[in-house]
Structure 1
Amino acid sequence: MENNASNSTRANGTRRLLAAAVVVLAALSTVPAAAAGHSAPGRQASARHAALPAAAQRHDARGGLLALTPVARVGRAGVADFLATAGMDTATVRHGVRAYRLTYRTVTPQGGPTTATGLLVLPEGGAHRLDLVSDTHGTMVHRDYAPSVGEDSGRYAAYLHASAGRAVAAPDYLGLGRGPGFHPYMDTRSAVTASLDMLRASRTAALRLGRPLTGDVYASGFSQGGQVAMALGRALESGADRRFTLRALAPVSGPYDIEHAEAPGTFDGSINPTSAIFYMTYFLTAQNRLHPLWKDPSEAFREPYADIVDALFDTNHTEEEIFQALPATLKELLTDDYYRQIQHPSGALLAAYRGQDGNCAWKPDVPVRLYSSSGDTDVPIANARHCAADLAKRGIEAPVTDQGPVSHNETYLKSGPQIVRWFDAAAARR
Structure 2
Amino acid sequence: MTNTANTTNTTAGSRTKRGAVAACAAVALALGAAAPALALTGTDTSTGVHHIVRASRGTLVSVVPVADHTRAEVAAFVKDAGADPSVVRYGVTAYRLTYRTVTAEGRPTTATGLLVLPKNGVHRLPVVSDTHGTMSHRDYAPSVAEDMGRLSPYVQAAAGRAVSAPDYLGLGKGPGLHPYMDTRSGVSATLDMLRASRTAARQLGRPFTGDVYVTGFSQGGQVAMALGKALSEGADRSFRLKAVAPIAGPYDLEGVEIQSMFNGSINDTSAVFYMSYFLTAQNRLHPLWKEPADVFRAPYDKVVTGLFDGLHADEDIVKALPPTLKGLFTDAYLKELQHPTGVLKSILKANDGTCDWKPAVPVQLYSASGDTDVPIANARSCAAQLAAHGVKAPVVDQGAVDHGGSAIKSVAQIARWFDRVEQRG
For residue 407 of structure 2, what is the amino acid of its counterpart?
Answer: Y
Matches within 5 A, 1:215-226: 215-226=210-221
- What is the aligned partner in structure 2 of residue 313 from structure 1? 308
TM-score, normalised by the number of residues in structure 2: 0.93
Report the Cα distance in structure 2 between the residues aligned to 1:25 and 1:384, rounded to whole angstroms: 25
Contact persistence 2:24–2:80 (CA under 8 A): no
Alignment match, 1:18 = 11
2:338 pairs, out of 331, 343, 348, with 343
Partner of 2:190: 195
Aligned pair 1:288/2:272, yes or no?
no
Q: Give SS of 1:215's match.
A: strand
For 2:20 and 2:283, how far apart are their aligned partners in 1? Answer: 27
Measure how far apart 1:336 and its partner are: 1.3
Offset, 1:115: 0.2
State the match for 1:237 in structure 2. Answer: 232
Aligned to 2:31: 40
Partner of residue 411, structure 1? 406
| Contact residue 33 and residue 68 of structure 2 kept, 8 A | no
Q: Structure 2 vs 1, CA of residues 39 and 142 (structure 1 numbering), >3 Å: closer, same or farther? A: closer
Task: State which of 151, 156, 177 in structure 2 corresponds to 1:161.
Answer: 156
Structure 2 counterpart SS, 1:118: strand
Task: In structure 2, give the amino acid aligned to 1:38.
Answer: L
CA deviation after TM superposition for structure 1 residue 25, in Å: 7.3
1:236-260 CA-partner distances (Å, limit 9, x unpaired): 1111111100000000000000010
How far the C-alpha of 1:26 sits from its partner, in A, is 10
Shift of 1:51: 3.6
Alignment partner for residue 214 of structure 1, among 209, 212, 220? 209
In 1, Cα distance between the equivalents of 2:222 and 2:28?
34
C-alpha displacement at 1:344, in angstroms?
1.4
Match of 2:325 among 320, 323, 330: 330
Q: 1:38 deviation in Å?
A: 2.8
Question: Does the 8 Å CA contact 1:146/1:176 hold for their aligned counterparts?
Answer: yes
SS of alignment partner, residue 28 of structure 2: coil
Cα pair 1:116 1:178 within 8 Å, conserved: yes
Q: Give the equivalent residue in structure 2 for 1:76.
A: 71
Q: Which residue of 2 aligns with 1:274?
A: 269
Shift of the alpha carbon at 1:24? 4.7
Which of the residues 249, 255, 258 maps onto 2:250? 255
Deviations 1:256-292 (A, max 9, x none): 0001000000001110111000000000100000000
Displacement after TM superposition at 1:152 (Å): 4.9
Alpha-carbon distance, 1:48 to partner: 5.3
- Please give the TM-score of this superposition, normalised by the length of structure 1: 0.92
SS, match of residue 35 in structure 1? helix
- CA spacing shift, 1:23–1:64, aligned 2, 3 Å: farther
Offset of residue 34 of structure 1: 7.1
Q: Aligned with 2:27: secondary structure?
A: coil
Contact 1:264 1:343 in 2 (8 A): yes
Rounded to whole Å, the distance in 1 between the matches of 2:91 and 2:298 is 52
Q: Aligned partner of 2:118: which letter?
A: P
Q: Does residue 1:394 correspond to 2:389, yes or no?
A: yes
Cα distance change on mapping 1:374 and 1:366 into 2, 3 Å: same
Give the 3 Å change call, closer, same or farther, for CA 67–191 of structure 1 in structure 2: same
Give the one of 102, 110, 113 matched to 1:115: 110
Structure 2 Cα separation of the partners of residues 247 and 340 of structure 1 = 42
- Out of 42, 52, 58, the position equivalent to 2:50 is 52
Is the contact between residue 27 and residue 156 of structure 1 (CA under 8 Å) also seen in structure 2? no
Partner Cα distance (2:360, 2:80) in 1: 37
RMSD: 2.1
CA offset digits 1:285-338 (Å, max 9, x no partner):
000000000111110011111111111001100011101100111111111111
Q: Percent identity?
A: 60
| CA distance in 2 between partners of 1:213 and 1:26 (Å) | 34
Superimposed CA distance per residue, residues 156-215 of structure 1 (whole angstroms, 9 cap, x where no aligned partner)? 000000000000000000000000010000000000000000000000000010000001
Moved over 6 A (4+): 25-28, 31-34, 43-47
- Which residue of 85, 109, 122 maps to 2:80? 85
Taking structure 1 as reference, are residues 369 and 23 closer, same or farther at Cα in structure 2, changes over 3 Å only?
A: farther
Query: SS of the counterpart of 1:190?
Result: helix
Aligned letter for 2:216? Answer: G
Give 1:43 deviation, angstroms.
Answer: 11
Does residue 354 (structure 1) correspond to residue 352 (structure 2)? The answer is: no
Contact 1:32-1:151 within 8 A present in 2 as well: no
Q: How many residues align?
A: 410
Aligned to 2:4: none
Distance in 2 between residues matched to 1:383 and 1:22, nearest whole Å = 23
Q: 1:23 touches 1:319 (CA, 8 Å); kept in 2?
A: no
Relative to structure 1, is the Cα distance of residues 34 and 21 closer, same or farther in structure 2, using a 3 angstrom cutoff? Answer: closer
Opposite residue 267 of structure 1, the aligned amino acid is F
Q: Do the aligned partners of 2:166 and 2:193 also contact (CA within 8 Å) in 1?
A: yes
Q: Which one-letter code corresponds to 1:169 in the other structure?
A: S
C-alpha change, 1:45 and 1:346, in structure 2 (3 Å) is farther
1:126 pairs with 121, 124, 130, which one?
121
> How far apart, in 1, do the equivalents of 2:19 and 2:206 lie?
28
